């Protein structure tokens, strides 16, 4: 715990900045970092999903942000509490990496390295092809996504006791 009694929360934006809508998690992480929240560590993760296991090890709480492909309207924001069970793997299969977020979280769970609290925010993408432009729907939804993540951070810090 930090001296001011706020729990440290890890915010991880996941994606590939060269795959259009897949950069949504990275962009959201940049916006969260710009808010300079106390007791929050923000990481932009563009590496293999398996590397997430190492990032999560020892964390008190984590919030992951990633683009998803679940069949909802582009820009739709979804929230998943990993403590309630596995992520719907079909929503996270678009990953440009061999090892997706859902698989990484389940590996961390199997290795007992999953933090006590893990929340995943998914934002529905549509264009995961090569390029550096996000769709208008994702751009319009990013402010709401960031506010939801910040609210989640504050709730975790206020309401949960960690190790």
Q: Is residue 13 packed enough to be buried (19+ CB in 10 Å), middle (13-18) or exposed (0-12)? A: buried
Domains of the chain are 9-159 (3.40.50.1450)
Q: Six-digit token pair at 137?
A: 């729907």
pTM for this predicted structure: 0.89
User: Mind listing the pLDDT tens digit of every residue in the chain (163 residues)?
Assistant: 333 455 689 999 999 999 999 999 999 999 999 999 999 999 999 987 778 999 998 889 999 999 998 889 999 999 999 988 887 766 666 555 557 888 889 889 998 889 999 999 999 999 999 999 999 999 999 999 999 999 999 999 887 665 4
Q: Are residues 154 and 41 in contact, defined by beta-carbon separation less than 8 angstroms?
A: no
């Amino acid at each position: 715990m930090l001296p001011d009694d706020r729990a440290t929360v890890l915010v991880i934006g996941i994606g590939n900045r060269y795959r259009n809508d897949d950069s949504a998690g990275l962009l959201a992480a940049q916006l969260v970092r710009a808010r300079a929240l106390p007791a929050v560590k923000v990481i932009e993760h563009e590496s293999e999903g398996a590397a997430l296991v190492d990032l999560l090890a020892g964390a008190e709480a984590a919030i992951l942000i990633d683009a998803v492909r679940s069949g909802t309207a582009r820009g739709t924001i979804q929230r998943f509490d990993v403590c309630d069970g596995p992520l719907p793997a079909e929503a996270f299969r678009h990953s440009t990496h061999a090892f997706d977020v859902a698989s990484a979280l389940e590996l961390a769970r199997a290795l007992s390295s999953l933090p006590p609290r893990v929340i995943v925010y998914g934002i529905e993408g549509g264009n995961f092809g090569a390029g550096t432009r996000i769709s208008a729907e994702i751009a319009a939804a990013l402010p709401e996504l960031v506010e939801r993540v910040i609210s989640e951070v504050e709730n975790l810090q206020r309401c949960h006791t960690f190790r």
